[in-house]
Amino acid sequence: MSLESPSLIQAKAEAARTASRRLATTSSEQRAGVLLRLADLLEQRQAAILEANAEDVRAAEGVIDASSLQRLKLDSSKVAAMAQGVRAVAGLPDPLHRIQLRRDLDEGLELTRVACPLGVLCVVFESRPDALIQISALALKSGNAALLKGGSEARHSNAILLEAVQSALRDADLPETAIQGLGDRAAVAVLLQRPDLIDLVIPRGSRELVQSLQAATRIPVLGHADGVCHMVLDQAADTTMAVALVRDAKLQYPSACNAVETVLIHRGAAERLLPALVADLAPRGVELRGCAACRAIAPDLLPATDADWEAEYGAPILALKVVTDLDEALAHIRAHGSGHTEAIVTEDAEVAARFLAEVDAAGVFHNASTRFADGFRYGFGAEVGISTGRIHARGPVGLEGLLSYRYLLRGRGHRVEDYSGPGARSFIHKDKGAGAP
């Protein structure tokens, strides 16, 4: 049971829907104005924000693990970064009202397809309080309302950050109900049963969080549960490049979803590549687990078990497997990959082309680190999340993932009956320029 009654939760969602209609017709300047005001407020209120956060940190010390505590803890540079991030979102090109298609169906009968917000988002995130600011900025920039549930260990931080968002909305004469907090996970559970109230669920957090939300709702969930990414080292891989890319993909940020978990090494290059990998990674503290064929070449490796091929370590651990050929590598990826990001290292253009054509994943890379799979690195200016679903948005999702569209048709009394039967008019379907409204 939620501490909030179902009728209160419904009322919040309905107020969010009403606010979303208002947001949908706002100008780019109005929405950017809210964000610039929010950035100022974050800076002005920095002392109070850090105080509230300190209260959360005190209560959490010894209760949550060190890395969660690290994510929970704010300092002046994190607050400055938050404000900076909000200003960056404010400065992005306006995604709303853009004309995606403009076509004369007939003389005087013009069809346009215009970007519009999705409506109301339900966002669930874990200990990192800066997520509240980031997702609020993305929602408002794209004209969406959002109901937010943050981690309970960040409750004081989240409350003061939410108040800043709502202040900025009020100051811009927009409804503060556009961004609201939810009291607890039970409130989320109520909303997950209401596809009439919520258009998209966005989890930002652990695999368990994503899976629990996906299992509990028919509302679309944007994101990914698993990031089991592979790197294939082909027979024709350059040794130096292969080692450097595996090191980057594993160690640059081991807990990232786009970090590599399993390296598949072509049999014909294993004796060359495997010792080079071990020599580079073992001294850097990477725990290496290998198949039997790997251990025949590098006996110091720990034995890999079947569970290793499914593992998303989120840690400096790497599974290594020798494969007979590209077919076996592709089959392994089909069986164990999570559709996130898969990479091959090879100087053989034909092998690369086949890999790029055949692998079914959100990201398929040649001679590049899997860590590039990211909305900022792709140049989207913002990242809502990374989706491994095939419907709606796939891969790193920018503001575009928070949009739908409407078809507008402007006529002069045009009737369908004039386009059928003898002597019927014909459609001309003449495309004209698309772009800004």
Angle value at C-alpha 364, between 360 and 370, nearest 5 degrees: 130
Q: Which two tokens stand for residue 155?
A: 């409750």
Among 303, 419, 424, 432, binds a copy of itself (CB under 8 A): 419
Least distance from a copy of itself to the Cβ atom of residue 203, Å:
15
Residue 25 near a copy of itself by CB under 8 A: yes
Q: Are 408 and 112 a contacting pair, CB within 8 Å?
A: yes
Alpha-carbon span 138 to 125, nearest angstrom:
14
Nearer residue to a copy of itself within complex by CB, 44 or 240: 240
Least distance from a copy of itself to the Cβ atom of residue 65, Å:
25
Residue 325 near a copy of itself by CB under 8 A: no
Least distance from a copy of itself to the Cβ atom of residue 321, Å:
22
Which residues are registered as beta bridge partners of 90? Answer: none
By CB under 8 A, the residues from 179 to 218 that bind a copy of itself are: 199-200, 214, 217-218
Stretch of 123-131, 297-305, 309-317, 355-363 lying at the interface with a copy of itself (CB under 8 A) = 355-363
Q: Number of residues in contact with a copy of itself, rule: CB under 8 A?
A: 68
By CB under 8 A, the residues from 104 to 163 that bind a copy of itself are: 105, 109, 111, 116, 118-119
Nearer residue to a copy of itself within complex by CB, 311 or 330: 330
Residue 388 near a copy of itself by CB under 8 A: no
Q: Which residue carries 């995604």 as its tokens?
A: 95
Residue 332 near a copy of itself by CB under 8 A: no
Pairing of strands 200-204, 260-266: unpaired
Least distance from a copy of itself to the Cβ atom of residue 330, Å:
10
Angle value at C-alpha 373, between 371 and 378, nearest 5 degrees: 120
Least distance from a copy of itself to the Cβ atom of residue 137, Å:
20
Least distance from a copy of itself to the Cβ atom of residue 14, Å:
11
Sequence-distant (6+) residues with CB within 8 A of 70 are none
By CB under 8 A, the residues from 261 to 280 that bind a copy of itself are: none
Sequence-distant (6+) residues with CB within 8 A of 130 are 74, 78, 81, 82, 85
Nearer residue to a copy of itself within complex by CB, 54 or 405: 405
Alpha-carbon span 437 to 183, nearest angstrom:
39
Residue 9 near a copy of itself by CB under 8 A: no
Say if residue 314 is exposed, middle or buried (CB neighbours under 10 Å; 0-12, 13-18, 19+).
middle
Residue 432 near a copy of itself by CB under 8 A: no
Q: Which amino acid is at 351?
A: V
DSSP state, 161? H
Sequence-distant (6+) residues with CB within 8 A of 147 are 12, 13, 16, 120, 121, 122, 123, 180, 181, 182, 191, 198
Q: Which amino acid is at 233?
A: L
Among 173, 409, 424, 432, binds a copy of itself (CB under 8 A): 409
* Cβ count within 10 A of residue 394: 17
Alpha-carbon span 321 to 262, nearest angstrom:
8
Least distance from a copy of itself to the Cβ atom of residue 163, Å:
29
Q: What is the CA radius of gyration of the chain?
A: 25
Residue 367 near a copy of itself by CB under 8 A: yes
Alpha-carbon span 112 to 247, nearest angstrom:
49
Among 50, 182, 245, 384, binds a copy of itself (CB under 8 A): 245
Alpha-carbon span 283 to 340, nearest angstrom:
29
**CA dist 147 → 90, 164, 178, 283, 352 (Å):** 20, 15, 8, 46, 44
Residue 404 near a copy of itself by CB under 8 A: yes
Among 75, 107, 208, 360, binds a copy of itself (CB under 8 A): 360
Residue 103 near a copy of itself by CB under 8 A: yes
Among 415, 433, 435, 436, binds a copy of itself (CB under 8 A): 415
Residue 24 near a copy of itself by CB under 8 A: yes
Residue 61 near a copy of itself by CB under 8 A: no
Least distance from a copy of itself to the Cβ atom of residue 295, Å:
28
Residues near a copy of itself, by CB under 8 A: 21, 24-25, 103, 105, 109, 111, 116, 118-119, 199-200, 214, 217-218, 220, 238, 241, 244-245, 247-248, 252-253, 352, 356-358, 360-369, 371-373, 377-379, 390-392, 394-396, 404-417, 419-420, 427, 429
